[in-house]
Amino acid sequence: AFGLTEPEAGSDAAGIATTALRRDGGWLLNGTKMFITNAGTDISQGVTVLAVTGKDDDGRKRFATFYVPTGTPGYTCGHKLKKLGWHAMDTRELVFDDCWIPEDHLIGEEGNGLRQFLSVLDKGRISVAALGLSLAKAALALAVKHATERHQFGRPLSAFQAVGHKIADIGTEFEAARWMVYRAAWLADQGRPYSTEAAMAKLYASEVANRAASQAVQIHGGYGYVRESEISRFYADAKILEIGEGTNEIQRNVIARALVRQV
């Protein structure tokens, strides 16, 4: 599990309030994390946690990354959150109350924690972009299936231009998103800079997924709005892709800063 987000700090990663203080040959953690994925399953070994360790001479916060094994005294998981979508994903609040961990549970160098977490987010954005890609592909397949099987006015829905245009838009945007995702992944595999491309891929693919799911529901009509339909799950699942691993507003900030620096 990846313990970054807090009740009062999400997009503002540097605004976290969880603290880690040196105590008795280790560190004492105190704070709360929110919306943390995969911390409370039966096979969860533990969580990596970003915490504030102090301040530099100029007053800036210092951060470090720690590994906290499941079952450590002072570390508790809240109840599984009931989300709008992603029901198969375990998501919880984590609480650290005088949670002591040994020195060797510090990951990397003290003071480098925020950079570590942000670098992980870059890779995570490619993963979310890939999720958006697969969701758009599934939505397209379901839309085509329903449009060819469902008949109105003596013709399949796919014979109506309005429906055909929706299918065309989903397919076109899916292909465009695919190459953006592939390029970002290729750059990462090659060890080349890819932060901007990852943000672009995440931004575009997640929005394509939401548009695809929405249009696919529209093609399904009333059948798409009942929970028993396959497309309803994708419709509910799509929204989180615009939020997780950095909101799309943050992605636009990242992209804009990168493009301005190139001028």
Determine the pLDDT at residue 262. Answer: 85
**Can you tell me which residue has the tokens 């592939």?**
182
Domain regions of the chain by residue span:
2-111, 115-262
What is the chain's pLDDT, residue by residue, as a tens digit (263 residues)?
999 999 999 899 999 999 999 999 999 999 999 999 999 999 999 999 999 999 998 989 999 999 999 999 999 999 999 999 999 999 999 999 999 999 999 999 999 999 999 889 999 999 999 999 999 999 999 999 999 999 999 999 999 999 999 999 999 999 999 999 999 999 999 999 999 999 999 999 999 999 999 999 999 999 999 999 999 999 999 999 999 999 999 999 999 999 999 87
CA distance 211 to 85: 16
C-beta separation of 68 from 34 below 8 A: no
The answer to whether 8 is a known catalytic residue is no
The number of beta carbons lying within 10 Å of the beta carbon of residue 241 is 26
Domain 2-111 class, CATH top level: mainly beta
Kindly state which CATH superfamily the domain 115-262 is placed in.
Answer: Butyryl-CoA Dehydrogenase, subunit A, domain 3 (1.20.140.10)
- Pull the structure tokens for residue 228: 């028993």
Strand partners of residue 76: 95
The whole-number pLDDT of residue 16 equals 95
pLDDT of residue 10: 87
Q: How much is the pLDDT for 263? A: 76
Name residue 19's beta-bridge partners.
30, 52
- Which residue from 103, 80, 75 is spatially nearest to 18, judged by alpha carbons? 75
pLDDT reported for residue 90: 95
Q: Model-level pTM?
A: 0.92
CA distances from 240 to 27, 84, 174, 237, 245 (A): 34, 9, 18, 6, 9
Determine which one of 149, 197, 245, 249 is catalytic. Answer: 245
